[in-house]
Amino acid sequence: MIKRLIVAEKNSQANSYAQALGKFSKTGASYIVSKLNLHIAPAAGHLLDIVNDIEPAYKEPLPYFPEEILYGFKPQGAKKSDRDSHLKTIKFLYNNLKKEMAWADEIIIGTDPDREGESIFYTLLNQFPEYREKVKYRLWANSLTKEGIQHAYSHLRPAHETYNFFIEADARRTADWLVGVANLTPLVRKVLKSKGQLQEIKKAAHKKGYEKLSVGRVKAPIMNLIIENDNKIAGHVPKDFWKIEVKDENGVVFANNQIFGGNKNSQSESDAKQVLENLSREAKVIDVVKEVEDKKAPFLFNLTQLQAYMSQHYHFSSAQTLSVAESLYQKKVMSYPRTDSKLITEYEFTYLKANLKKYQELLGKAFSPAYLEARKKYVNTDKVKEHYALIPTETLPVLEELSHDERLVYETVTTRMLMMFEKDQKLATTKVTIDNGKEFSVSGTVILEEGWHNMALKSKKEKEPLPNYEKGQLITVENIIKAGKTQPPARLTESMMLKTVLVKYGIGTSATRASILAGLVRDGFVELDKKTGQYKPLEKARKTIRVLEELGSQFANPEKTSEWEMTLKLIGEGKLKADEFLEGIREEIRETVKGQVN
């Protein structure tokens, strides 16, 4: 019988695998499922990290490119006793995995089903190249329930299908280390020291408890975006503008797109008044367009959309939402959270449909389902390549046993899933156009049938429906000039960064954006208003970006970062070589260092 080994990312994951796959025993760190001749051995996340000496970066002329990137143990902890304990643990797990790999005939990758999981496994495997030929399969488990694990184990993927995720992750990690740790951080510190500003930053960091100063390949462009936004707000000069509105006897306001002044043109209030003088006090209804729309339920959540939703409605930070979602995943009641997909496969739809009544009863959402067949907006097996959308698992929690935050996130995700089965929202939209020497229009929407919208948070008050207007009808109107001032751009919020800005530039992934933003706040580069979710740059960020700009560096440029992120994505798809990308990074480091003497 073939001897199989599953390498898990952590002990809790290994335990879940063992419980799902049969009766098991435990020897040391390993779980033994004798019936399957299967061993399951855990790591503890990244057992190995880059350990190259960075002293040359601070003592010798830059750029610093070591001949080889070295990996080894990097114990964590604030105290020496903590670091010693951590080192003992990771060495024990490392040696156990080496022993288990020697025992096995076939090795199955069972780390988290994502790029980082691939990185954890292959970084370890690279220490034991003699076992590479044993790596046969990938266990891709989006759910830690018994059914989810059993389904994944019976549908093992060939290991080569996901290997390029490691190549991408390794290229990203190497680039981030070369840019941030080995070159930009010592370079920026050196420049700031020459300006007499480094000591000032160190003092502020010590006072506030911040990390002194570090510069990252992804941190820098995000800081720059927040600084640019703040500069535009500070530099905004309000300009006067005027618009003409028409109000009828029912108080309904009809609008026109023409703007006098502002940022659009140099027209003035007198130009608006001239137009106003030619308008009649009697208007004719020239068009009434009525449409009925069946509005489908929103997409299922991916992590970014959930983070934005929780930020907008409950003031959760993105890191907080991810942490809670991961906790629910570990408790086996929610699917794998680090997903970019808003789709599920036929397999997930089948179990959701089978358990639909249980979910409804759990949340107190009683309705007669209208859609019991899979619809392409939500279910598309062919388009789910890695992870499916965030949904509840077959295992229902006892809501009272969840923490407040866990319950809120679980109910939010499950409610969004239930909407998929409910009737469409039926809307009646009416657009009325009048003419009193110039055309003005107004639109109104009436909800004819709530459908799934009954389960949605009502963030806005429903508008009053429009009166009945008929084509050809004459109405008495009042013509009004409304004055206004142009407004500065909206301040960037966490929700905006997650939903649009970082996605636009392709910076980070659903798995990393939360931690990047949280890190900028933690390290004292930006300030986050917890009530509004708005970001403001701090002086530490401004000084850092100013140095990079003076050096002519592209590392603070969001557009250039977007190019690099696209390249990394193509590496993950096997379409580009990592070596070419890394050489491009080295060349940009060289150019940045040259800027020091220009």
Q: Which helix (H) or strand (E) holds 481?
A: strand 474-485
Measured distance CA(100)–CA(94) in Å, rounded? 10
pLDDT at 597 over 80: no
Report pLDDT digits (tens) over 494-534: 889 988 898 899 888 777 888 889 899 989 999 999 888 89
Q: Is the pTM of this model over 0.85?
A: yes
- The pLDDT value given to residue 9: 95
CATH 1.10.290.10 fits 303-419, yes or no: yes
Residue 30's H or E segment, with its range, is strand 30-33
Secondary structure of 401-461 as H, E, C letters: HCCHHHHHHHHHHHHHHHHCCCCCEEEEEEEEEEECCCEEEEEEEEEEECHHHHHCCCCCC
pLDDT of residue 195: 87
Task: Domain 240-296+425-485: give its CATH architecture.
Answer: Distorted Sandwich (2.70)
- Parallel, antiparallel or unpaired: strands 535-537 and 425-435: unpaired
pLDDT at 483 over 60: yes
Tokens coding 233: 């707000």
Task: Tell me the two tokens of residue 45.
Answer: 């996340």
pLDDT at 387: 87
Is 205's pLDDT higher than 70?
no
**Token reading at 160:** 């080569």
Pairwise CA distance, residues 27 & 417, whole Å: 41
What is the reported pLDDT for 569?
92
Backbone angles phi, psi at 329, to 5 degrees: -65, -45
pLDDT for res 303:
93
Long-range contacts of 509-513 (CB under 8 A, 24+ apart): 509/115, 509/338, 509/340, 510/302, 510/303, 510/304, 510/338, 510/339, 510/340, 511/114, 511/115, 511/116, 511/303, 511/338, 512/218, 513/304, 513/307, 513/318
Q: d(Cα 92, Cα 87) in Å, to the nearest integer?
A: 8
- The pair of structure tokens assigned to 382 is 């062919």
CATH class for the region spanning 167-234+491-594: mainly alpha
Write the class of the CATH domain 4-155. alpha beta
Q: Kindly state the average pLDDT of the residues 358-378.
A: 97
| Domain-wise residue ranges, the chain | 4-155, 167-234+491-594, 240-296+425-485, 303-419
The yes-or-no verdict on residue 397 having pLDDT over 90 is yes
Is the pLDDT assigned to residue 598 strictly greater than 60? no
Residue with the two structure tokens 């019976």:
154
